[in-house]
Amino acid sequence: MLSSAKEYYEGVFQLLKKHHAWFRCVIPLIASENVPSPAVREAIITDFGNRYAEGWPGRRVYAGCTYIDQVELLCIELAKKLFNAEFVDVRPISGVVANLAVYTAFAEPGDYMLALSIPSGGHISMGKKKLGGTAGAVHGLNVEYLALNHQELNVDVDETIRIVEELVKTGKTPKLVMFGGSVLPFPHPVKEMEGYFHNLGATVVYDAAHVAGLIAGGTFQDPLREGADVVTLSTHKTLPGPQHGMILSLEKHAERIKRATFPGVVSNHHLQNVAGVAVALAEMLEFGRKYAKQVIRNAKALGQALYERGFKVLAEHKGFTESHVLLIDITEYGDGGKIEKELEKANIIINRNLLPWDIREGRHYMNPGGIRLGTSETTRLGMKEKQMEEIAEFIKRVIVDKESTEKVKEDVVEFRKNFQKVHFCFEKLRDAYEYIEIK
């Protein structure tokens, strides 16, 4: 317990500064995270963050939106260009909120929805009620699972059709299908399956939270061209913007989505982040292709380098990944929770992850059999294939050689010294993790 208001006040800033100082020296490998450019950081500390703009640009129910409207329209225009989308709603404040808006727009409580289970790479926002997932617990949907082929780390088309046929027979025809997920190393079979689902009368949704930056960079599948009706996304995973969400769709769905977003799931929509997203999208329009290509090259290189050092990187027969993400079976060395903590001591930041067969084998999400690594943030810092080798070696020294984490950390700090700027952006006056004082 601290004793005075001033101590609490100072305490917060001390901790923020420590975090920034620490992140200058770590290897950030969390697949759902990224580092925004200094320009994005500037946009998100503006007065936009103190305003309301309920409604649609030009038809707000608040005054003071003159410039806010213009920025939101720029953001929409940029997103339409980048994703080649007919309609864009940039108001959802996160990926979960974007999904909830889509559930609201296209399904009623009690309807059936298909998605990947969480151990298979699905996200908790697609989860069943008994797991507290958004789809089940908040919107009252009955969630059934798409089948995953464990070898291929991808949706099993034939097995999924078999499951759906059974559902249809018992009157549980799905209204919604969610492709995409939080472990998405290979393009999902949207093109192969959209016709089947559309024939059943279902809306086909693709959750691009993880891969939005790769789609924008033209290096991953393009769900809207492959027959998806709607795409939801987070703006801060492979897409290097501030934390926010977005929905893309065909024009014919525009009104339902608009209404589901507001008044459905947002009131204020974090206008500072809409501005930040617009800046990030402009940077992607200029640098996105190069960035996305390098992210994938780095992921493949990191997968190969870890594999050569004895790690069980999944989907080796397919080159480990076609995206930014790698999944590693770590059971030989402990559980994902323990490994995550060990690596953190050496300034290597990764996260534990369930393997598709973990629940069946009695493992739990706190102590799963896997770890998940992503290469977007390190790529933004200017790292390439050679650095991926070095990172793999650091990881091996901690986990396989069981070298002192203190010693490895010293080397990691040294290694990081050369990677302090954000790349793939127009201006780099500030370092990536520089603490900016304005008070």
Ligand X SMILES: *Cc1c(COP(=O)(O)O)cnc(C)c1O
Q: Footprint of ligand X on this chain (CB under 6 A)?
A: 32, 94-96, 99, 123, 125, 180-182, 207, 209-210, 234, 245
193 vs 265 by CB, closer to ligand X: 265
Tell me the residue type at 110.
G
270 vs 397 by CB, closer to ligand X: 270
* CA distance linking residue 126 with residue 133, whole number of Å: 6
Name the residue whose CB lies closest to ligand X: 95
Phi/psi-derived region of residue 347, left when phi > 0, alpha when psi is between -120 and 50, beta in every other case:
left
274 vs 399 by CB, closer to ligand X: 274
Phi/psi-derived region of residue 187, left when phi > 0, alpha when psi is between -120 and 50, beta in every other case:
beta
Residue 286 beta carbon to ligand X: minimum distance, rounded to whole angstroms: 24
Residue 209 beta carbon to ligand X: minimum distance, rounded to whole angstroms: 3
* CA distance linking residue 94 with residue 269, whole number of Å: 10
Residue 401 beta carbon to ligand X: minimum distance, rounded to whole angstroms: 32
Residue 69 beta carbon to ligand X: minimum distance, rounded to whole angstroms: 24
181 vs 356 by CB, closer to ligand X: 181
Pairing of strands 112-115, 174-180: parallel
Residue 273 beta carbon to ligand X: minimum distance, rounded to whole angstroms: 11
123 vs 258 by CB, closer to ligand X: 123
* CA distance linking residue 353 with residue 184, whole number of Å: 13
Residue 262 beta carbon to ligand X: minimum distance, rounded to whole angstroms: 17
* CA distance linking residue 62 with residue 53, whole number of Å: 6
93 vs 284 by CB, closer to ligand X: 93
Helix ranges (DSSP H) in 348-404: 376-380, 385-399
User: CB–CB of 125/99 below 8 Å?
Assistant: yes
User: Which residue, among 207, 255, 202, 204, has the nearest Cα to 226 in the 3D structure?
Assistant: 204
Residue 252 beta carbon to ligand X: minimum distance, rounded to whole angstroms: 24
Query: Which residues, listed in sequence order, are joined to residue 327 by a DSSP beta bridge?
Result: 372
179 vs 291 by CB, closer to ligand X: 179
325 vs 408 by CB, closer to ligand X: 325
277 vs 395 by CB, closer to ligand X: 277
Q: For the CA atoms of the chain, what is the radius of gyration?
A: 22
Write the DSSP assignment of 149-170 as a string of letters.
ETTTTEE-HHHHHHHHHHHHHT
Residue 14 beta carbon to ligand X: minimum distance, rounded to whole angstroms: 27
Write the DSSP assignment of 234-292 as a string of letters.
ESSSSS-SSS-EEEEE-GGGHHHHHHIIIIII-SS--HHHHHHHHHHHHHHHHHHHHHH
132 vs 310 by CB, closer to ligand X: 132
Residue 265 beta carbon to ligand X: minimum distance, rounded to whole angstroms: 12
- Which contiguous run of DSSP H or E holds residue 59? strand 59-60
| N-term to C-term CA, the chain | 25
Residue 238 beta carbon to ligand X: minimum distance, rounded to whole angstroms: 11
